Amino acid sequence: MTTLSIFHQSQPDEARTVMTDPGAIGDALARHGVRFEQWPTRDLPADASQEQILEAYSEEVARLKQECGFQTADVISLNPDNPQKEAFRQKFLDEHTHSEDEVRFFVRGQGLFYLHFGDQVYALLCQQNDLISVPDGTRHWFDMGPEPQFTCIRLFTNPEGWVASFTGEDIASRLPRYEGLAGVAG
């Protein structure tokens, strides 16, 4: 279940608010300029190729490209048997920003986005069919967990893809990781 947990940065051990209603989650995130949507499920084989996935969601991807000026879309997938899973996890665990919106649509699996707004941190556990668009300049990080299992469509305005600017803050190390929050969902 998609879950939004809101923490005060001075009390990182206890969420002040936990939401599971998609409408309430969307409203809470929209106040900070974050786009949250849930797209309909498409019937895809478990081993669907990037081309099959992009074709299945072509209408939604085309709409976002037109609305937001995205130039490229691709698919990223990670499974627990990937020998580099820990290195991939570490790459995204520190707070950073981007000079473009970070957009992810979860075709399968789940992952945890942390969004840092002032003295609050919003931890959004995204699930299959969730779309999140984190506005450029927003301080955030991502935790895929120790046994990642997800497939996401990514959209970019920069053809170079994912480029991060790390803040050097240690806030990410003070909040519960995926292992502690993924259980909130269910």
Model confidence over 9-45: pLDDT tens digits? 999 888 999 999 999 999 999 999 999 999 998 999 9
pLDDT computed for residue 160 by the predictor: 66
Report the residue count for the chain: 186
Mean pLDDT over residues 62-84, rounded? 94
Helix (H, G, I), strand (E, B) or coil at 138: coil
Helix (H, G, I), strand (E, B) or coil at 86: helix
Max distance between CA atoms of the chain, in angstroms, equals: 45
115 within domain boundaries? yes
Q: Tell me whether residue 102 is annotated as binding.
A: yes
pLDDT in tens, 121-171: 999 999 999 999 999 999 999 999 999 999 999 998 876 656 788 899 999
- Residue 62's identity, in one-letter code, is A
Domain count, the chain: 1
Q: Tell me whether residue 98 is annotated as binding.
A: yes
Q: Tell me whether residue 96 is annotated as binding.
A: yes
List the CATH number of the domain containing 57.
2.60.120.10
Q: Which domain holds residue 108?
A: 3-169
Q: What is the mean pLDDT of the chain?
A: 93
